[in-house]
A and B are shown apart, each in its own frame.
Chain A
Amino acid sequence: AGGSVLRGAGAWDVRESVQGLGPFGKGTPTSHTMFSEQAAPMAQGLLAPPSAEPPTFPRVPVSGYSDCSQPFQLGERGFSRQYAHIYAVRLAGMRPGLERRARSLWGNGIALRKLSELQAGEKCCVVGTLFKSMQLQPSILQEISEEHNLVPQPPLPKYIQPSDELILEDELQRIKLEGAIDVQRLVTGTILAVYGCEQDDGRFLVEDHCFAGLPPPLPWNGPSSDRFVLLASGLGLGSVSGEALLSTQLLVDVVTGQLGAEGEQNCAAHITRVILAGNLLSQNTQSRDTINKAKYLTKKTQAASVEAVKMLDEILLQLCTSVPVDVMPGEFDPTNYTLPQQPLHRCMLPLASAYTTLRLVTNPYQASLDGVRFLGTSGQNISDIFKYSSMDDYLEILEWTLLAGHISPTAPDTLGCYPFYKSDPFILTECPHVYFCGNAPRFQSKLLQGKEGQRVLLVAVPDFSATQTACLVNLRDLSCQPITFSGFGADSEDGDMEVGH
């Protein structure tokens, strides 16, 4: 295996075009500087003798960080409640906004009715929760039912079928929906308003429907100079192959400024924060073979996650000495399963938690960095909607959850959720500036504009262990670019190791 051979100056190739606009709010049409463009003029330093005084690049200071994920932090947890409470507060919380939106779309004079007040043939608008009855939906009751004698259904990539039906429920009744509504696309738990009339056969014929829409905008207080936030997810430590470890080490080296010439180091000094969005451990650490074995056989075996967490601790130590890091747990990480996932415990990371730059945060995570509001999850909400909807694109699903006004509508139906009773913290009340989800199959990003002046950057952060790609978000103009790391393995034809972005 060779050492790290970097390509010569000027050969940085742009893997993907940057998606973003010009400077935010100002009229001057200057072009924004990409991460690599800043580096290129100074890249001649690679072929020059070292300077007498080694230059230092102080990292841009942390200014204006505030953690807004208090609704996702659970203190004392009690599970002796039914899930009817969370559906009731979800409907009660989103009903006023939906009624306003319905009036603005279909006229002020429309009749807003409850299902119990419906009359056949009268055109009216009803607000309720959606339920999609799916034949293939895994049901624990069917699995354990003795009269069926069924083998448990193997996990499928998608559980949708043409025979699925949509049912609208409000506080008291439910009614089947048909008409101008896409049954395959929608999922259980969405709150929506339908406009139409009840038929004689008892079904509701939908003429039009609407969701809560983009939440009201937050004021913009972003920085005026280039500040970058690195978003990465799916580090996948503890997996069988060691290939991804090299890319992870390259990522750490770029962020801590130990890679590249002075130009790259100068750029890396503009990274103000690193957010790791879940799945720090690989799925292989979850092996369950030891559960069914006898205790005397498994006494001395160590769980695979122990070694992986030690590796995570070492990697986080390198990052934390240099840059603030926010660590969100994901599907395969040692924390609770139900959403909202609580932060990893600091006793698992003894080396890294000595530094105050390490922040162990919840999933979903919401914070205000330099005046820019970030909101994101580790991807379980998006992948769950993917399984039960015809939507295939992670970015499309991400945008849809924003327009539906709820981070994770399928919780608690098909995604584990804590039984909240007072309020549903997944309802979107304000529009974030950056909305991301982790562990997507590939990198995607989009800048969404709303009618009330909302500007949201949607980012689908790719799975690092599969794609070796992370994302750099520029806080000044809400642009996002991917950064890819790759090494050469024993069977790789490509001889050069590349860090491209």
Chain B
Amino acid sequence: MSRRAMEQSRRITDSFPRRRRGPGRPPGRLKGKNKITKDKDKEKEKVQVKVRECPRPPSQPSPDPALLEMLRRFDLSWEYGPCTGITRLQRWERAQELGLSPPGPIRDALLEHRDNPDVTYSLWHEYEL
């Protein structure tokens, strides 16, 4: 019964079978006797997977949308030069060295959220050159 309660929050990906392979198991179809025990393993894995869902270290608070908006505006302001191909911190430091006086809060925000790729990389980071 407790298992059913935990399964209340369902995702669309639940309709696809989740397979977690052990470290020594090669990919491919399982033959013979392992088939019967497979279903029980799948259900157990589904439950375990939900508990294990959070990959990000919980020490960093996620940046709020206002901060991301400020960083996007920093990317799009033409005074500090092109923004593609370099991290936002590199662009901030370059603007500082050229004497263009970029705003200080942006640097603090960049250093605070150093691990978050949405913060460190520019708006067009995902696009190839």
| Contacting pair B85 A92 (CB below 8 A) | no
Q: Complex: how many Å from CA A4 to CA B60?
A: 79
Q: Complex: how many Å from CA A93 to CA B81?
A: 12
Determine how close the nearest CB of chain B comes to the CB of A171; give it in whole angstroms.
6
Given A82-B85, A85-B81, A421-B85: A92 and B100 interface contact (C-beta under 8 Å): yes
Residues of A within 8 A of B78 (CB): 171-172
Q: Complex: how many Å from CA A80 to CA B129?
A: 7
B38 near A: Cβ within 8 Å?
no
What 1/0 flags go to A159-171 for Cβ under 8 Å of B? 0000000000001
| Contacting pair A88 B82 (CB below 8 A) | yes
Q: Complex: how many Å from CA A422 to CA B93?
A: 9
Dominant secondary structure of chain B at its interface with chain A: loop
Kindly identify which residue among A82, A171, A422 contacts B84, using a CB–CB cutoff of 8 Å: A82
Determine how close the nearest CB of chain A comes to the CB of B59; give it in whole angstroms.
30
Determine how close the nearest CB of chain B comes to the CB of A95; give it in whole angstroms.
9
Residues of A within 8 A of B99 (CB): 96
Residues of A within 8 A of B100 (CB): 92
**Which B residue sits closest to A85, measured CB to CB?**
B82
**Total interface residues in chain B, CB < 8 Å:** 15
**Total interface residues in chain A, CB < 8 Å:** 15
Residues of B within 8 A of A82 (CB): 82, 84-85, 129
B76 near A: Cβ within 8 Å?
no
B114 near A: Cβ within 8 Å?
no
Determine how close the nearest CB of chain B comes to the CB of A96; give it in whole angstroms.
8
Q: Complex: how many Å from CA A81 to CA B90?
A: 13
User: Which positions 78-96 of chain B face chain A at CB distance < 8 Å?
Assistant: 78-79, 81-82, 84-86, 90, 93-94
Residues of B within 8 A of A68 (CB): none
Determine how close the nearest CB of chain B comes to the CB of A29; give it in whole angstroms.
47
**Which B residue sits closest to A419, measured CB to CB?**
B85
Q: Complex: how many Å from CA A93 to CA B129?
A: 25
Determine how close the nearest CB of chain A comes to the CB of B117; give it in whole angstroms.
16
| Contacting pair A84 B98 (CB below 8 A) | no
Residues of B within 8 A of A96 (CB): 99
What 1/0 flags go to A404-443 for Cβ under 8 Å of B? 0000000000000000011100000000000000000000
Residues on A close to B: CB < 8 A? 80-82, 84-85, 88-89, 92-93, 96, 171-172, 421-423
22 pairs across A/B with beta carbons < 8 Å?
A: A81-B84, A81-B85, A82-B82, A82-B84, A82-B129, A84-B82, A84-B84, A85-B82, A85-B85, A85-B86, A88-B81, A88-B82, A89-B94, A89-B98, A92-B100, A96-B99, A171-B78, A421-B86, A422-B93, A422-B94, A423-B94, A423-B97
Residues on B close to A: CB < 8 A? 78-79, 81-82, 84-86, 90, 93-94, 97-100, 129
Other than A84-B81, A171-B78, A421-B86, give 20 A-B pairs with Cβ distance below 8 A: A80-B85, A80-B129, A81-B84, A81-B85, A82-B82, A82-B84, A82-B85, A84-B84, A85-B82, A85-B85, A88-B82, A89-B94, A89-B98, A92-B98, A93-B98, A421-B85, A422-B90, A422-B93, A422-B94, A423-B97
